[in-house]
Amino acid sequence: MTVPGELHYTREHEWVAVEGSTATVGITDHAQQALGDVVYVSAPAPGSKVTAGEPCGEVESTKSVSDIFAPVDGEVLEANAELGENPGVVNSDPYGAGWLFKVNLPGADGELPPGLITAAEYEELIASEE
């Protein structure tokens, strides 16, 4: 199970990569392992607004369906079109090709939005859940 140190995390098992004024969002390796094979992803549509802490989509696996919680406030720039055809990349490459959507963070300029936790804090969280 990997928890890349350069990313930020939510307590609901999303990761966030902030580059300039764009945040890329996905689910963690821990989350994809707990879910099992992902068969369907419903990400928020480009142009829609998401609110930190609110559900904005869902990830379905063989056994369950889970909400995706928006990690930040902002407008969705892009959803990962690849997931329509091949949702399994969320399992095989959760931090790379399995990203879910990108959000515009006006004025963020590399600053970390509030409410996110560090890789070390996230590792503690998943250790405490086991």
Which of 65, 86, 115, 120 binds other proteins (CB under 8 A)? It is: 65
**43: CB partners within 8 A, 6+ apart:** 56, 57, 68, 76, 79, 80, 83, 100, 101
Q: Which of residues 67-126 bind other proteins (CB under 8 A)?
A: 91
Among 43, 29, 45, 46, smallest CA distance to 90 is for 29
Least Å distance between CB 35 and other proteins? 10
Which of 40, 45, 115, 120 binds other proteins (CB under 8 A)? It is: 40
| C-alpha torsion 11→95→33→82, nearest 10 | 120
Instruction: Please tell me the distance from the alpha carbon of residue 27 to that of residue 37, in angstroms, as a whole number.
Output: 13
Could you tell me which stretch among 44-52, 62-70, 72-80, 101-109 binds other proteins (CB under 8 A)? 62-70
Least Å distance between CB 32 and other proteins? 11
List contacts with other proteins (CB under 8 A): 33, 36-37, 39-40, 42, 58, 60, 62-63, 65, 91
